[in-house]
Amino acid sequence: MSQAHYPHPIIAREGWPYVGLSFALALIVSLNIGMLWALPFWLIALFVLQFFRDPPRLVTAAKNVVVSPADGRVIAVMPINDPWLNRPSIKVSVFMNVFNVHSNRSPVDGKVFQVSYHPGLFVNADFDKASEHNERNALCIRTTSGYDITCVQVAGLIARRILCYVDVGAALTRGERYGFIRFGSRVDLYLPTHAHIRVAIGDTVSAALTAIADLPEA
């Protein structure tokens, strides 16, 4: 894995083959059978296009604010042991459905000091057991203020491909795109116990834009 810097593509590059194939198929059916028969294929192509959209994001929150790593809905806010750093933490989980943007972004400014990938199952990412049993990839990041947080990409029922473009030693800035999960999934954040959480279960959040928590300034 290597850190990827490239001009923002608007449509995520991870989806280019899917978008191209779906539109090509719709066009072939239109030209050879007719628009009526091709209508379902055009609807599928439009769905694929919206799934892989990846709008640019500008972080405006204060430096001590942890921003959301994903678009979606908060499904868990709970005290729990961080299994990656083996310490007490607060877990905030964001569930991404098929209509959310699936680009993953760094929640903090800092340096990656641990990357852990674990193969696993593909149960519904809305279930809490997905954090323990599903395929997942964890980044442990030390913030510029000296705090350690863990950001975990978790595969879901349909998602079968976690993509991460950073490795140990990578320097991340808040809102920087570091990965992607295809077709529905979740991201778990493990934060220090003294973090002030600013979201609740059921809240809708946007990657890089929504404040998840405040970390005390060093």
**Catalytic positions:** 185
**Please, which residues bridge with residue 217 across strands?**
none
The span from the CA of 202 to the CA of 103, in Å, is 20
| 18 SS3 class | helix
- Burial tier of 160 (Cβ tally within 10 Å: 0-12, 13-18, 19+): middle
The span from the CA of 159 to the CA of 148, in Å, is 28
The span from the CA of 13 to the CA of 193, in Å, is 37
Give me the amino acid identity at 106. S
| Pairing, β 185-191 against β 148-155 | antiparallel
Euclidean distance between the first and the last CA atom of the chain, given in angstroms as a whole number: 32
The span from the CA of 14 to the CA of 120, in Å, is 22
Neighbouring residues of 85: CB distance < 8 A, sequence distance ≥ 6 = 140, 148, 150, 190
| 34 SS3 class | coil
The span from the CA of 176 to the CA of 51, in Å, is 20
Residue with tokens 């994903």: 70
